[in-house]
Amino acid sequence: MPFTGISGKVAVVTGAAQGIGEAAAAVLGSLGAVIAAVDRQGDKAAQAAEALASSGVSAAAYTADVADSRAVEEVIGRIEREQGPVDILVHAAGVLQYGTGVTLGDEEWERTFAVNTTGAFYVCRSVISRMSKRRRGSIVLIGSNAGTVPRYGMSAYAASKAAAAMMLKCLGLEHAAEGIRCNIVSPGSTDTPMQRGMWEDESGEFKTISGSPELYKLGIPLGKLATPEDIAWAAAFLSSDQAGHITLHDIRIDGGATLGR
């Protein structure tokens, strides 16, 4: 195994029905973690958990909307009762609402923050409150490179991701003395349903890699999109013993698109 300290640990993965969350559950499961796959799309989460179980991974699905505080507290409590103490959280649940600031409606703005920022807070708060008593644990938030560089048409998404990242760093500072590590993985353009939903036609991948000067967006120096697994393995590393002295860190995985900023 490339990383130690994961096997046998209970890992909660939110947004586990697809994309980066699904990949994170698969990677952590391959390293021996007990997977609690959480998603608002209960049927798809169940399918993902069943696929993991068929490959020998201990996995169970749980349905919850991370923007619902009560639902979050209930599902984390249920996971601990059924699977055991949570030692790893990879929070990948998120939404993207594309549109310029003046065209976004109130509901679109509020829903983006409800899921990406407030939802992240609800989940991290619920998990950390339990980890704190045990004085151990790792939390990895899936952020975005849009949280550090302005993106045309992504004001709600970028702002929500920036806020969530700072929220987690504050929690990480507050609980560092308890042995709880909090880190962020910030992907750039990654081949997920969310990314493909932004493309107008089959040229979308080429345009994403090449960049858009008219939108002040650099291309990707490595000349390719990230895969969900690229992001998932970084989350696994940060959850492992090998990252035991890393906390409050934000790893940018974007093929150089933000020039290391």
pLDDT digits (tens, 9 = 90+) for 98-127: 888 899 999 999 999 999 999 999 999 999
* pLDDT for res 206: 63
* Residue 216 belongs to a domain: no
Query: CA end-to-end span of the chain, whole Å?
Result: 32
Q: Which range of residues forms the domain containing residue 143?
A: 10-191+227-250
Q: What is the mean pLDDT of residues 67-81?
A: 98
Q: What is the mean pLDDT of the chain?
A: 93
Annotation marks residue 157 as catalytic: yes
* pLDDT for res 98: 85
Q: What share of the chain is helix, strand, coil (3-state, %, to 5)?
A: 50, 20, 35
Q: What is the mean pLDDT of residues 195-206?
A: 65
* pLDDT for res 207: 64
The number of folded domains in the chain is 1
> What is the CATH classification number for the domain harbouring 235?
3.40.50.720
* pLDDT for res 124: 98
Residue 39 has pLDDT above 80, yes or no: yes
* Residue 32 belongs to a domain: yes
* Residue 206 belongs to a domain: no
Q: Which range among 23-27, 58-62, 146-150 shows the weakest confidence by mean pLDDT?
A: 146-150
* pLDDT for res 19: 95
Q: What is the mean pLDDT of residues 181-190?
A: 93
Burial 219-256 (b: 16+ CB within 10 A, else e): bbeeeebbebbbbbbbbbbbbbeebeeebeebbbbbbe
* Residue 209 belongs to a domain: no
- Whether 256 and 220 have beta carbons less than 8 Å apart is answered as yes
The string of pLDDT tens digits covering residues 62-72 is 999 999 999 99
Residue 1 has pLDDT above 60, yes or no: no
Candidates 62, 98, 122, 157; catalytic one: 157
Q: What is the mean pLDDT of residues 147-170?
A: 96
Q: What is the mean pLDDT of residues 4-33?
A: 97
Going by pLDDT thresholds of 50, 70 and 90, the confidence category of residue 2 is: confident
Tokens coding 102:
């003046």
Compute the distance between CA of residue 76 and CA of residue 53 in angstroms, rounded to an integer. Answer: 20
* Residue 79 belongs to a domain: yes
Tokens coding 159:
């702002």
* Residue 105 belongs to a domain: yes
| 246 three-class SS | coil
Q: CA 25, 30, 35 angle in degrees (round to 5)?
A: 40
Q: What is the mean pLDDT of residues 137-165?
A: 96
The string of pLDDT tens digits covering residues 214-260 is 887 888 999 998 999 999 999 999 999 999 999 999 999 999 999 88
* Residue 170 belongs to a domain: yes
Q: Which of 159, 29, 176, 173 is nearest to 104 (CA)?
A: 159
* Residue 117 belongs to a domain: yes
- Return the percentage of the chain with pLDDT > 70, whole number: 95
Tell me the whole-structure pTM to 2 decimals. 0.94
